[in-house]
Chains A and B, each alone.
Chain A
């Protein structure tokens, strides 16, 4: 479906940004999590985006590249240390390893993901408007 390739591209952007929103939500939810199945505190997660060539568009045109999430990676920065000796997960020296999640960074990521989702929805709407205008010519 050649005429709908712009829809598919915008849809891939919507899917990718929704997944990013999930990851940001997970980071915010686990901002205080000190226990994980892998041991140690929760580590902040990030999404990695990659281009995706749409099957519908012809490959020689180099256009019509959608986006997809190729992976979710963990932030390798060291955990935040908080002095709290009575905490059940405190180390011998009284410090607790808290997740390396920064609430401000997460808020910014959340806004970017939310606005990017809106932008993709707007692009899809514009593409629909173009098709509708083309149909109006026939009337």
Chain B
């Protein structure tokens, strides 16, 4: 079995880029990702709103379509809340860190 030695010239520049707050190669920028997630959440909530409005005005043929839209909105919101909880938790953790 041949063991290839670690090539520092190749490894170090990549680590420097990753630590620089920029997007990794092939990854997405955190800010852009967050914005897109919030946009998606907003769209799902609006869809649920539209469906409920359509139901009370009698435009919807199937009740389950309304239930589906509301359920999707509910689950997306719960996921977003969980992610937010995790972010706040991480922030608190860092704030309470003894330097």
Chain A contacts to B: CB under 8 angstroms: 1, 4, 7-8, 11, 14-15, 18, 121, 124, 128, 131-132, 135, 138-139
Contacts and interface: CB of A to CB of B under 8 A. Distances in A.
Top 6 nearest A-B pairs (CB, nearest first) are A138-B82, A14-B64, A11-B68, A4-B72, A131-B75, A135-B82
Given A1-B72, A128-B75, A131-B75, A11 B82 contact: no
Contacts of A132: 75, 78
**Majority SS of interface residues in chain A?**
helix
A7 B68 contact: yes
A7 B64 contact: no
Interface in B68-86: 68, 71-72, 75, 78-79, 82-83, 85-86
A14 B68 CA distance: 11
**Majority SS of interface residues in chain B?**
helix
B62 A128 contact: no
Contact of A139 (B40, B71, B82): B82
Interface residues of B, number: 15
Interface of B: 40, 44, 62, 64-65, 68, 71-72, 75, 78-79, 82-83, 85-86
A53 B57 CA distance: 31
Contact of B62 (A8, A14, A135, A139): A14
A139 to B, nearest CB: 7
A9 B56 CA distance: 25
A61 to B, nearest CB: 21
A14 B40 CA distance: 25
B10 to A, nearest CB: 34
Contacts of A11: 64-65, 68
B72 A135 contact: no
A121 B71 CA distance: 13
Given A1-B72, A124-B68, A135-B79, 14 more contacts: A1-B40, A4-B75, A11-B65, A11-B68, A14-B62, A14-B64, A15-B62, A18-B64, A131-B75, A132-B75, A132-B78, A135-B78, A138-B82, A138-B83
